[in-house]
Chains A and B, each alone.
Chain A
Amino acid sequence: ELQLLESGGGLVQPGGSLRLSCAASGFTLKNYAMSWVRQAPGKGLEWVSTISAGGSSTYYADSVKGRFTISRDNSKDTLYLQVNSLRAEDTAMYYCAKDLILSPWGQGALVTVSS
């Protein structure tokens, strides 16, 4: 069964940082692009970032460009999202998802930015 499991969320002060991880199982991570999508409380879905299968190409939403960094360790079947300079508006559930068609999704990691 294809599964994704996020970790690393938490409460952080404005300006702080976190590293989110997404562990893949049931498929070979290195064969697929991977994405992060977030959802603020009570709001819709917002694409955050995508990384190519080999890791050489990365793409970001304008709202996070320069502050977030997507990366992957294919030897560990793990995707990462380094989130820096956090703002209140970054408060959201962060999901990882496989490929550009976003299937499957992980269960999410909650990031709360508050003082």
Chain B
Amino acid sequence: DIQMTQSPSSLSASVGDRVTITCRASQGINNYLAWFQQKPGKAPKSLIYAASSLQSGVPSKFSGSGSGTDFTLTISSLQPEDFATYYCQQYHTYPLTFGGGTKVEIK
């Protein structure tokens, strides 16, 4: 199985900060990488697919990059509605696997 390792597992940031979350795959997955946002009590929401393609309706403050084994999700200017848990997921190989999540909290 492909292991997905996210870091950090949590972070504290202020409104307006630039935030970067990393995701590392245990083997190469080309660009078959998606990012999700989940708020408490809600279903996850897709932000990015194919490592860097923004889902329709997702604001451009979110961006993704990377290929192979190393990927990043960047939020350019953190807003109150962005405080949530973020997950990466690879869909290169079954079983599909998720990272452990990164909880973004208010400083």
B22-41 interface bits toward A, Cβ cutoff 8 Å, 1 = contact, 0 = none? 00000000000010101000
Chain A CB within 8 A of B106 CB: no
Instruction: Say yes or no: A50 contacts B46, CB within 8 Å.
Output: no
Shortest B47–chain A CB gap in Å is 9
Q: Which A residues lie at the B interface, using CB under 8 A?
A: 35, 37, 44-47, 50, 59, 61-62, 95, 100-108
Report how far A36 CA is from B36 CA in the complex, Å: 15
Instruction: Say yes or no: A100 contacts B45, CB within 8 Å.
Output: no
The 6 A-B pairs with the shortest beta carbon distances in the complex, nearest first, are A103-B46, A47-B96, A100-B91, A101-B49, A105-B43, A45-B98
Instruction: Say yes or no: B89 contacts A102, CB within 8 Å.
Output: yes
Please report whether the interface of chain A is mostly helix, strand, loop or mixed according to DSSP: loop
Q: How many residue pairs bridge A and B at CB < 8 Å?
A: 54
A59, A101, A106: the one contacting B43 at CB < 8 Å is: A106
Instruction: Say yes or no: B87 contacts A101, CB within 8 Å.
Output: no
B49, B87, B94, B95: the one contacting A45 at CB < 8 Å is: B87
Chain A CB within 8 A of B44 CB: yes
A35-B96, A50-B96 as given contacts; A44 in contact with B87, CB under 8 Å: yes
B-side contacts of A37, CB under 8 Å: 44
Instruction: Say yes or no: A59 contacts B94, CB within 8 Å.
Output: yes
Shortest B45–chain A CB gap in Å is 7
Report how far A102 CA is from B96 CA in the complex, Å: 11
B-side contacts of A44, CB under 8 Å: 87, 98-101
A-side contacts of B43, CB under 8 Å: 95, 105-108
Chain A CB within 8 A of B97 CB: yes
Instruction: Say yes or no: B97 contacts A47, CB within 8 Å.
Output: yes
Instruction: Say yes or no: A100 contacts B101, CB within 8 Å.
Output: no
Chain A CB within 8 A of B55 CB: yes
Would you give 16 A-B contacts (Cβ < 8 Å), ordered by A? Answer: A37-B44, A44-B100, A45-B38, A45-B98, A47-B89, A47-B96, A50-B96, A59-B94, A100-B91, A100-B96, A102-B36, A102-B46, A103-B46, A105-B46, A106-B43, A107-B43
